[in-house]
């Protein structure tokens, strides 16, 4: 089975081309964060994504640098000979599905929940008084 699932942010706007046979081809780079040990500097892998047809048209219309998406597809390897006569090996992810991973920010970011969420993605909630607001009674600990 050849299945790849990646979540990250576009490192650049998609490049879209059209073939003579009217096929749409899209390419972009996806920055996928690596899981690192506490105290280490954050690192990312930059994955080459290629998409075709409707998937490429979606990328052209809706995706841009910085957009956080989930890509599902397959890994594809290949090779070509460059202008210096050297063989170059490639690895691409062929995107079969693309999904947004966050809401589109509104014009006024100060009033959105996204602007109040810390960079780690988790919000803090107070320990006291929560039970009073729950519709199904107090939580036993």
CATH code 1.10.490.130 for 4-104: no
Residue 4 contacts residue 72 (beta carbons within 8 Å) = yes
pTM beyond 0.85: the answer is: no
- The tens place of each residue's pLDDT in the chain, 141 residues long, gives 999 999 999 999 999 999 999 899 999 999 999 988 788 888 999 999 999 999 999 999 999 999 999 999 999 999 999 999 999 999 999 999 999 998 876 554 444 444 455 555 555 555 555 555 555 555 555
CA-to-CA dists, residue 24 to 4, 17, 52, 94, 136, angstroms: 22, 6, 6, 13, 53
- For 67, the token pair is 């957009």
Per-domain boundaries in the chain: 4-104
The DSSP bridge pattern shows strands 44-52 and 87-100 to be parallel
* Four-residue CA torsion sign, 31, 36, 39, 41: negative
């Amino acid at each position: 089975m050849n299945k790849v699932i990646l979540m990250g942010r576009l490192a650049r706007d998609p490049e879209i081309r059209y073939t003579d046979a009217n096929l749409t081809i899209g390419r972009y780079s996806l920055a996928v964060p690596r899981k690192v040990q506490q105290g280490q500097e954050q690192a990312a892998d930059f994955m080459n994504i290629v998409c075709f047809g409707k998937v490429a048209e979606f990328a052209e219309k809706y995706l841009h640098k910085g957009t956080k998406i989930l890509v599902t597809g397959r890994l594809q390897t290949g090779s070509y000979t460059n202008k210096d006569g050297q063989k170059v090996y490639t690895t691409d992810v062929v995107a079969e599905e693309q999904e947004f991973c966050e809401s589109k920010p509104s014009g006024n970011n100060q009033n959105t929940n996204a602007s109040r969420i810390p960079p780690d993605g988790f919000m803090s909630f107070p320990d006291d008084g929560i039970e009073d607001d729950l519709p199904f009674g107090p939580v036993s600990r």
